[in-house]
Amino acid sequence: MAEIFEGDIYTLTDETGKESEFELIGSCEFEGKTYLALIPVEEGMDEYVILRLEADEKGEEILVTIDDDDEFDRVADYFEDELFDTVDYDEGTEGDPQ
């Protein structure tokens, strides 16, 4: 498995073939699976997405959406409680120490 570093940029392709860039803001191992929280690089976009890391049929790592609502809610709660509890991305202004 490749190392996961916060700040890495991922190019993701949606179901229509449109590519968008996302920055990694957090990752976690939860219930035996690896999840990534990513925020769009595009200006004005402040909502993050959570994707699960899996291996495809060739053994290559891919990111997939979480279709199960219960699984998504548990992982989102985990990210909120464990990873983002001490970080306030909206606090401070440009030039102010955060």
Q: For 1-54, how does the pLDDT look when each residue is reduced to its tens digit (9 = 90+)?
A: 556 767 789 999 888 999 999 999 889 998 899 999 999 998 776 788 999 999
Domain spans in the chain, listed from the N-terminal domain onward? 9-83
Mean pLDDT of 74-97: 66
- pTM score, two decimals? 0.74
Alpha helices (runs of H) in 1-92, residue ranges in sequence order = 69-78
CA–CA gap between residue 76 and residue 55 (Å, rounded)? 22
Phi (first) and psi of residue 64, to 5 degrees = -130, 150
What would the pLDDT profile of 82-92 be if each residue is shown by its tens digit? 766 654 555 54
